[in-house]
Amino acid sequence: MTAAELAALLNATLHGDGTRPAVRPCHPREARAADDIAVAMDPDLLPLLADCRARVAVVAADAVDRVPEGAVDAVLAVGRPRLAMAGLTAAFAGPPPVGPGIHPTAVIEDGAVLGADVAVGPFAVIAAGAEIGEGTVIGAHVTIGAGVRIGPRGLLHAGVRIGSGCTIGSDVILHHNASLAADGFSFVTPEKGSVESAKESGRVEATNTGLVRIHSLAAVTLGDHVEIGANACLDRGTLSDTRVGDHTKIDDLVLIGHNVQVGSHCMICGQVGIAGSAVIGDRVVLAGRVGVADHVTIGDDAVVAAGSGVGNSLKGRAVYYGTPAVERERAFEAYMLTGRLKGLFRDVKALKADMKALRRDGGPSHG
């Protein structure tokens, strides 16, 4: 690719020599060759260009005049750096983890149906009745259960486990060791148990004399363009599938409990946990490590800050913080007031002394 071609791809303004080759995007400090592309969209990196082997640089449009004089031969100025990063990295993304074709060691049971150009890596297992869409790539050591349907252009990395009966849309990416359709965590005691007692009275007045298993008869349904992170777990539904809507992205080590419904275009960040039967709207953002209680509803476009614990349903289009999660203003007010407690204790101590003095001699102690 040339600098001019890359500029066109990124909707960037080109300054300088558009004929320069542009072969490998890298941090300015890690450029090794003239045809590297120094990515310096963070203005703090601009000084590094002065002593950089790359002859092409990508910078933020509003900082283009800070590129050191003569540092590179071609400058690509972009208006929205992170969006440019998306385009840039897409253009140079590497090949899938397994090559084309069906590896001879893979086990594909009778009755599994593979679309055109499906690639299957070593030791993958595809059970009877599974249907894999055109162009989907199944990595090494992947397990696909009976009757699973996967759309076209999917990418399943090594060690992904998909239990029987799941339905997965097109263009889905599943990372290392992600688990779809393990059984839900659902038990009941024959008589009232300790948790029911705690919810009713706040006390433990009953004991869990036996835990009886509620089996999970349903599976997991993922929409199109969904991405699921490494070692994440999405459990089966009890009677209806646990569902994730189109374009929703789920990070590593996230737990989505049984029966949960997640809308479309959500971002569910690392280590989030959503307990059984919760309902998450569209375009919801749950930052890292957020916990959501069972049966809770979160409205569209809600943003929940990292580490928050959502114990009750939340309306959409607002920002929430803390445990229990409350609207940002309320959380910040509580935080501010707590930070001023030391002064409050001091004030009350002084007031008590004043009052004592008043009581003793009819006047304030230091009036």
Catalytically annotated residues: 258
- 86 neighbors 70 (Cβ within 8 angstroms): no
- 136 neighbors 115 (Cβ within 8 angstroms): yes
92 contacts a second copy (rule: CB under 8 A): yes
DSSP 293: -
Minimum separation from the CB atom of position 172 to a second copy (A): 12
Minimum separation from the CB atom of position 230 to a second copy (A): 4
**Binds a second copy (CB under 8 A): choice among 89, 111, 113, 200:** 89
Q: Distances in Å between the alpha carbon of 226 and those of 232, 262, 277?
A: 13, 11, 20
Distance between CA atoms of residues 120 and 162, nearest Å: 15
229 contacts a second copy (rule: CB under 8 A): yes
Q: What three-state secondary structure class fits 349?
A: helix
**Binds a second copy (CB under 8 A): choice among 76, 230, 279, 298:** 230
**Binds a second copy (CB under 8 A): choice among 60, 90, 150, 262:** 90
281 contacts a second copy (rule: CB under 8 A): no
32 contacts a second copy (rule: CB under 8 A): no
Determine the interface stretch with a second copy among 48-56, 66-74, 79-87, 112-120 (rule: CB under 8 A). Answer: 79-87
Strand order in the sheet with 36-40: 13-16, 74-78, 56-60, 36-40, 24-26
Determine the interface stretch with a second copy among 62-70, 110-118, 129-137, 250-258 (rule: CB under 8 A). Answer: 250-258
Distance between CA atoms of residues 289 and 210, nearest Å: 32
Minimum separation from the CB atom of position 59 to a second copy (A): 14
- 261 neighbors 206 (Cβ within 8 angstroms): no
Minimum separation from the CB atom of position 267 to a second copy (A): 7
Q: What three-state secondary structure class fits 8?
A: helix
Q: Which is nearer to a second copy, 59 or 69 (CB)?
A: 59
**Binds a second copy (CB under 8 A): choice among 4, 22, 158, 279:** 158
Instruction: Fill in the per-residue mask, 39 to 68: x = in contact with a second copy (CB under 8 A), - = not in contact.
Output: x-----------------------------
Q: Which is nearer to a second copy, 69 or 110 (CB)?
A: 110
**Binds a second copy (CB under 8 A): choice among 136, 242, 261, 271:** 271
Q: Which of 52, 27, 53, 51 is nearest to 40 (CA)?
A: 27
Distance between CA atoms of residues 165 and 160, nearest Å: 15
DSSP 330: H
265 contacts a second copy (rule: CB under 8 A): yes
223 contacts a second copy (rule: CB under 8 A): no
- Dihedral sign computed on CA atoms, order 36, 37, 43, 49: positive
Q: Which is nearer to a second copy, 152 or 276 (CB)?
A: 276
Encode burial over 149-187: b for 16+ CB neighbours within 10 A, e otherwise: bbbbbbbbbbbbbbbbbbbbbbbbbbbbbbbbbeebebe
Q: Distances in Å between the alpha carbon of 157 and those of 92, 98, 143, 275, 288?
A: 19, 9, 11, 26, 23
33 contacts a second copy (rule: CB under 8 A): no
Instruction: Fill in the per-residue mask, 168 to 207: x = in contact with a second copy (CB under 8 A), - = not in contact.
Output: -----x-xxx-x--xx-x-xx-x---xx--x---xxx--x
Q: Which is nearer to a second copy, 66 or 213 (CB)?
A: 213
Minimum separation from the CB atom of position 227 to a second copy (A): 8
